[in-house]
Amino acid sequence: MSKVTVVGAGNVGASCAEYIAIKNFASEVVLIDIKEGFAEGKAMDLMQTASLNGFDTRITGVTNDYSKTAGSKVAVITSGVPRKPGMTREDLIGINAGIVKDVTTKILEHSPEAIIIVVSNPMDTMTYLSHKASGLPKNRIIGMGGALDSARFKYRLAEALECPASDIDGMVIGAHSDTGMVPLMSKATRNGVPVVNFIDEEKQSYVIEETKIGGATLTKLLGTSAWYAPGAAVSVLVHSILADQKKMVPCSLMLDGEYGLSDICFGVPAIIGKNGVEKIVEVELTEDEKAKFNEAADAVRKTNDVLYEINVLNK
């Protein structure tokens, strides 16, 4: 029995539930939302695709009744507002902080053993908040950003190399923000061959910049932020936990000296398995990557400070 709760049955929450079901990653998904009847409607609509898409996962929806989420092995937090064109993710902190703090507490009341995946933005800061609000050990809370940003990096690399994305391997670490992502061009490969052998510096810079503004580009096109790739990225983390796959995925994790950082949730590669974070992997960075990584960490710390300024957290 593998039960997953998704709090926030909006675009990303529903997409995540759909991928989990279609790929048979869990036996049960509970969607929960604050809007009356909304999660029930999303769950019913998704369940009516079961015979069409050939899945057996049971998706149910509930309005605000956390007792129905009891015993979840994984809980995903997708509740909160998305940005509109022209906004940054950091602009969402005032509304989303209260929601994420409250939701973290409610999840744990009914699923004290759950591993929590934080998606709501600004994600690195919301992951930090979830840690501080719950006091859970650092393996139990995972911020999802790097999996998505890496998928966008591979998409842009595949476009530049004119090859299928499945030929590409690559990672984005750092902050899940327009300026703080660090796409590791030096380590990206096409079937083991460095991508820098295939594209010149101008194209490399283009790929890096388009990757960093990947979310903003989609927000401009869609009028709200993206959901298919975010939902798929969450489902990969859920699967790695439930199936104890031990996949290596960049995630926003509470650091305790790794990469020279402490008391911050920040995007680094990690092995994800049945205990959540099994191990943080330290990779060597170029001087330029290191400088950008540290600069991004400083910016995330400033956003974290806002949590104290608006009294969502107390020192």
Ligand X SMILES: NC(=O)c1ccc[n+]([C@@H]2O[C@H](COP(=O)([O-])OP(=O)(O)OC[C@H]3O[C@@H](n4cnc5c(N)ncnc54)[C@H](O)[C@@H]3O)[C@@H](O)[C@H]2O)c1
Q: Which residues are annotated as a binding site for NAD(+)?
A: 8-13, 33, 96, 119-121
73: left (phi over 0), alpha (psi -120 to 50) or beta: alpha
Q: Based on CB atoms, which residue is closest to ligand LMR, 72 or 120?
A: 120
Binding part of the chain for ligand X, among 156-164, 200-208, 218-226, 305-313 by CB under 6 A, reads: 218-226
For the segment 256-285, give every residue that binds ligand X (CB under 6 A): none
**131 counts as catalytic:** no
219 binds ligand LMR (CB under 6 A): yes
- Active-site choice (110, 131, 176, 239): 176
Q: How far is CA 231 from CA 195, 227, 285, in A?
A: 27, 6, 29
User: Per 3-state DSSP, what percentage of the chain is helix, strand, and coil (rounded to 5)?
Assistant: 50, 20, 30
132 binds ligand LMR (CB under 6 A): no
Q: Based on CB atoms, which residue is closest to ligand LMR, 216 or 280?
A: 216
Of positions 60, 121, 139, 177, contacts ligand X by CB under 6 A: 121
Closest by CA to 8, choosing from 26, 28, 31, 30, is: 31
Least distance between ligand X and beta carbon 2 (Å): 22
Q: How many residues does the chain have?
A: 315
CA dist., res. 132 & res. 115, Å (int): 15
80 binds ligand X (CB under 6 A): yes
Closest by CA to 119, choosing from 265, 294, 280, is: 265
Neighbours of 274 (CB within 10 A): 14
Annotated binding site for substrate: 83, 89, 121, 152
Name the pairing type of β-strands 168-169 and 189-190: antiparallel
Closest by CA to 254, choosing from 157, 125, 160, is: 125
Torsion angle defined by CA atoms of residues 106, 26, 15 and 98, in that order, rounded to the nearest 10 degrees: 10
User: What are the tokens at 284?
Assistant: 């060597």
Question: What's phi and psi for 102, nearest 5 deg?
Answer: -65, -45
Q: Based on CB atoms, which residue is closest to ligand X, 124 or 278?
A: 124
Q: Which residues contact 18 (CB under 8 A, 6 or more apart)?
A: 46, 49, 231
Q: Based on CB atoms, which residue is closest to ligand X, 267 or 273?
A: 267
Least distance between ligand LMR and beta carbon 244 (Å): 27
Q: Based on CB atoms, which residue is closest to ligand LMR, 87 or 196?
A: 87
121 binds ligand LMR (CB under 6 A): yes
145 binds ligand X (CB under 6 A): yes
Residue 219 binding partner per list ligand X, ligand LMR, none, with a CB distance cut-off of 5 to 8 Å that depends on partner kind: ligand LMR
Q: Which residues contact 125 (CB under 8 A, 6 or more apart)?
A: 90, 93, 97, 265, 300, 303, 304, 306, 307
Closest by CA to 80, choosing from 97, 64, 56, is: 97
Least distance between ligand X and beta carbon 284 (Å): 26
Going residue by residue from 147 to 166, which x/- string records binding to ligand LMR, judged by CB under 6 A?
-x------------------
Of positions 148, 181, 199, 277, contacts ligand X by CB under 6 A: 148
Binding part of the chain for ligand LMR, among 17-25, 65-73, 196-204, 214-222 by CB under 6 A, reads: 214-222
30 binds ligand X (CB under 6 A): no
61 binds ligand X (CB under 6 A): no
Q: Based on CB atoms, which residue is closest to ligand X, 139 or 177?
A: 177
Residue 2 binding partner per list ligand LMR, ligand X, none, with a CB distance cut-off of 5 to 8 Å that depends on partner kind: none
Catalytic residues: 176
